Structure 1
Amino acid sequence: MQFTSDNAAAVHPAVWKAMMAADAADAPYDGDDLSRRLDGAFSALFGRECAVLWVATGTAANCLGLAALVSPHGAVACHREAHIEMDEAGAPGFYLHGAKLLLAEGESARVTPETLAAILDPIRDDVHQVQPHAVSITQASEYGCVYRPADLAAIAAFARGRKLGLHMDGARFANAVAFLGCSPAEAAGDIDVLSFGFVKNGGMSAEAIVFFDVEAARTIRYRRKRAGHLQSKGRFMAAQILAMLEDDVWLANARAANAAAARIAAADPARLLHPVEANEVFLSCTANEREALRAQGFAFYDWGPDAARLVTAWDARDDHVEALARAIAAL
């Protein structure tokens, strides 16, 4: 019974069907009909003009997105537990040719204008110190917590006031939209670049970089090729993304994953280490208790010496979710 990661979930049938339909001759790279449809599809979704590039991984989406905002001599302000800091093996430094990450604090892996100011204010405006060029936030955060539209507006105002670009890691953006019950535009706020995640939510191997500054995408097309992410049969990448957008499959999948996480969280709310607002549950759990859960067939990650991380996916089985909830309640 798998609760380690939503990356372990199955590929949604609509994605397989779309990829089969795309298995016909078309222009290579991103010159195919499906890839050319992405800009319009996302512009309709967000209600504003977008330029969209597909890539194979969330790491590439984050780092190429940031490359549009940050020069090699600059820096990105982010939470100290952001994925770009903790889980991308130095990829931001690689893709950004040495640009630095500046690490901020914040509850449940969310930054605020105040925690950002605490790390940026001491930086002198001279050539001897790395200058901040952008802020990166994660929606939903690494602890499954969601920025509200008012939070996003405050961070955007802070960034604009300091002439900083604003990037959003949206590996679980769908889960945030599902939780908020608002439009994608409201869940994103006034950002420059969004890494829109699909793989965790039923996709197979395609993520989208959404540029709200259309001109910024022009340079990143070259950098995507240089980074090895311009696939020759790009129509299969675009097909996955379009299949998830059609009929709001992406949103239905996120709602299913969120509902499963909420059911698990309700089993013993006193154990929760963070609010459960997306599809991740962090529980206070001793080593013996974790061993007892694993002995019953549940797979999940330890999160430090006294905690467990449980992640639900779009295809979480009801009987598995119910079994885990009962097991947690019985600890």
Structure 2
Amino acid sequence: MQFLSDNAASVHPRVWAAMQEADSPDSPYDGDSLSRRLDDEFSGLFGREVAVLWVATGTAANCLALSALVPPHGGVICHREAHIEMDECGAPGFYLHGAKLLLGDGAHAKLDPAGLAAVLDAVRPDVHQVQPHAVSITQASEYGCCYTPGELAKIDMIAGPRGLKLHMDGARFANAVAYLNRPAAEVAGPVDALSFGFVKNGAMNAEAIVFFDPTLADMVQFRRKRAGHLQSKGRFLAAQILAMLERDTWLHNAAAANAAARAIAEGAGERLLHPVEANEVFLACSAAEREALRAQGFAFYDWGLDAARFVAAWDTRADHAEALGRAIASL
């Protein structure tokens, strides 16, 4: 019973079907008919003109998006437990040619206004220190918690007057939309660039970078090529993304994953380390208790010395999630 990661989930049948349908000659790279549809499809979703580029990984999506917002001598403010800080092996510095991550705080891995202000206040406005150029926030956060539209507005009230661009790491953006039950545009808030995740939610190897200032995509097209992410048969990435958008598959999948996480959390009680808002559950759990759960057939990751992380996916079986909830309650 698999709760290691939503990255380990299966590919949605509609995605496989769309890739099969795309398996006929078309223009290479992103000149194909499917790739050319992305701008219009996402513009409809967000209710405004956007430009969209596909890439194969979330790391590339985050870093290429940030490369359009931050110069090599600049800085990106993010939570100290953000994915770009903890889990991307220095890729932001590589793609941004040396730009620095400036780390802030906030509960449940969400950068809050006080944490953002503390970082900004510590930077002298002179040539000897790295100057912030962007803020990157994760929706949902590394601990599965979601920024409300009001919280995003408060971040923007601090960042906007200082001329800082906003990036959203949306590897689990769909889960946040499903939890908040608000339109995608409201859950994205005032961001300039969004890494819209699909791989964790049913795609095979396709993510979307959504630029709410379409002119930013012009620069990133060249940077994507230089970074080795301009795939020659890009229609297969576009096909996956379009299949996820059709019939709101992306949203239904996320809602199913969130529901499975809630079923797990029902047995957790005071063990919960963070609110369960998306599809991740973090528990206080001793080594002996983790061994007992694994002995019952549950696969998951340790999270430090005395905690565990369980991740539900779009294809998590309800009976598996319920069984895990009962097993946790019986510890």
Q: TM-score, normalised by structure 2?
A: 0.99
Residue 87 (str. 1) matches residue 87 (str. 2): yes
Question: Take 1:114 and 1:327, find their aligned partners in 2: how far apart are those partners?
Answer: 39
Which residue number in structure 1 is paired with residue 164 of structure 2? Answer: 164
CA displacement at 1:142 relative to structure 2 = 0.2
CA displacement at 1:119 relative to structure 2 = 1.1
Q: Counterpart of 1:30 in structure 2: which amino acid?
A: D
Q: Counterpart of 2:162 in structure 1: which amino acid?
A: R
Residue 182 (str. 1) matches residue 209 (str. 2): no
Residue 143 (str. 1) matches residue 140 (str. 2): no
Which residue number in structure 2 is paired with residue 50 of structure 1? Answer: 50
Which residue number in structure 2 is paired with residue 278 of structure 1? Answer: 278
Moved over 6 A (4+): none
What is the 5 A alignment of 1:229-308? 229-308=229-308
Question: Take 2:156 and 2:54, find their aligned partners in 1: how far apart are those partners?
Answer: 25
CA displacement at 1:101 relative to structure 2 = 0.2
- 1:50-72: per-residue Cα shift (whole Å, max 9, x none)? 00000000000000000010000
Which residue number in structure 2 is paired with residue 30 of structure 1? Answer: 30
Question: Take 2:230 and 2:283, find their aligned partners in 1: how far apart are those partners?
Answer: 40
Identity %: 74
Residue 220 (str. 1) matches residue 220 (str. 2): yes
Question: Take 1:136 and 1:207, find their aligned partners in 2: how far apart are those partners?
Answer: 17
Q: Counterpart of 2:233 in structure 1: which amino acid?
A: K
Q: Counterpart of 1:212 in structure 2: which amino acid?
A: F
Which residue number in structure 2 is paired with residue 322 of structure 1? Answer: 322
CA displacement at 1:167 relative to structure 2 = 0.1
Question: Take 1:269 and 1:142, find their aligned partners in 2: how far apart are those partners?
Answer: 21
CA displacement at 1:268 relative to structure 2 = 2.2
Question: Take 1:268 and 1:75, find their aligned partners in 2: how far apart are those partners?
Answer: 39
CA displacement at 1:159 relative to structure 2 = 1.2
Q: TM-score, normalised by structure 1?
A: 0.99
Q: Counterpart of 2:63 in structure 1: which amino acid?
A: C
Question: Take 2:302 and 2:268, find their aligned partners in 1: how far apart are those partners?
Answer: 18
Q: Counterpart of 2:303 in structure 1: which amino acid?
A: W
- 1:259-285: per-residue Cα shift (whole Å, max 9, x none)? 000011011221100000000000010
Residue aligned with 2:309, SS: strand
Residue aligned with 2:297, SS: coil
Question: Take 2:231 and 2:281, find their aligned partners in 1: how far apart are those partners?
Answer: 35
Residue 101 (str. 1) matches residue 101 (str. 2): yes
Q: Counterpart of 2:133 in structure 1: which amino acid?
A: H
Q: Counterpart of 1:208 in structure 2: which amino acid?
A: A
Question: Take 1:226 and 1:156, find their aligned partners in 2: how far apart are those partners?
Answer: 32
CA displacement at 1:122 relative to structure 2 = 1.8
Question: Take 1:67 and 1:163, find their aligned partners in 2: how far apart are those partners?
Answer: 16
Which residue number in structure 1 is paired with residue 41 of structure 2? Answer: 41
Q: Counterpart of 1:173 in structure 2: which amino acid?
A: F
Question: Take 1:171 and 1:319, find their aligned partners in 2: how far apart are those partners?
Answer: 26
Which residue number in structure 2 is paired with residue 62 of structure 1? Answer: 62
Question: Take 1:172 and 1:313, find their aligned partners in 2: how far apart are those partners?
Answer: 11
Residue aligned with 1:33, SS: coil
Residue aligned with 2:209, SS: strand
Which residue number in structure 2 is paired with residue 112 of structure 1? Answer: 112
Which runs of 5 or more residues in structure 1 are unaligned? none
Residue aligned with 1:136, SS: strand
- 1:156-211: per-residue Cα shift (whole Å, max 9, x none)? 12111110010000000000000000000010101100000000000000000000
- 1:215-239: per-residue Cα shift (whole Å, max 9, x none)? 0110000000000000000000000
What is the 5 A alignment of 1:200-219? 200-219=200-219
CA displacement at 1:93 relative to structure 2 = 0.3
Question: Take 1:190 and 1:178, find their aligned partners in 2: how far apart are those partners?
Answer: 19
Question: Take 1:199 and 1:97, find their aligned partners in 2: how far apart are those partners?
Answer: 26
Question: Take 1:112 and 1:37, find their aligned partners in 2: how far apart are those partners?
Answer: 36
Root mean square deviation, CA, Å: 0.5
Q: Counterpart of 1:169 in structure 2: which amino acid?
A: D
- 1:70-97: per-residue Cα shift (whole Å, max 9, x none)? 0000000000000000000000000000
